[in-house]
Structure 1
């Protein structure tokens, strides 16, 4: 049972309590990372992106272009830094391009 929150709590605090109590954080992180990928990479990369999945702080990105996969593999550290900055916390620690 969730703890009772007094009537003067901020809505953000209440939402955070609900997220923690229902263990929704991993699902919300998955959605946030997927949206960040789409926003940061733009249409050129998104046209070749098939699937984006976050699992255990590792971002798995499935691409349909081998040339693009090779090109992005050189900038993995930059991709990790950009996504984490976009989200405001360190969620992604590694990127796997397939």
Structure 2
């Protein structure tokens, strides 16, 4: 009797030494592709509005993280200057939100 693909996939096989827990596999994939850092970077970008407030968030036109640097394009010269002077405190607050040092520098784009 010929087995169907479904019956082959649903057949329970006894555990072998190659059996890994799903958690272990997922953590391994995260490590191999540096996904944990990317998730933390995304978390930082998503926290920007909350950490900086509505006024600064509205003036933020573009932001991205590359190689530990947060790049910001701000539409207001006044807000850009405020961010420049508070750069160290902003970096500390963003890294605190990620519970790890993700941002090492902040770069303001024209």
Contact 2:74-2:108 within 8 A present in 1 as well? yes
Asked if 1:77 corresponds to 2:77, the answer is no
Structure-2-length-normalised TM-score: 0.71
2:102 is aligned to 91
1:61 is aligned to 72
Name stretches of at least 5 consecutive residues in structure 1 with no aligned partner. none
Query: How far is the alpha carbon of 1:16 from its aligned partner?
Result: 2.7
In structure 2, do the counterparts of structure 1 residues 36 and 15 end up closer, same or farther at CA, with 3 Å as the change threshold? farther
The structure with the largest alpha-carbon Rg is 2
Which residue of the other structure, out of 17, 39, 44, is the alignment partner of 2:55?
A: 44
Runs of 4+ in structure 1 off by over 4 angstroms are none
Query: How far is the alpha carbon of 1:17 from its aligned partner?
Result: 2.1
Name stretches of at least 5 consecutive residues in structure 2 with no aligned partner. 1-17
Q: Output one character per residue of 1:48-70: Cα deviation in whole Å (capped at 9) or x when no partner.
A: 00111101101001100011101
C-alpha distance in 1, partners of 2:75/2:33?
A: 36
Aligned pairs, number? 92
Kindly report the root-mean-square deviation, in angstroms, between the aligned alpha carbons of the 2 structures: 2.1
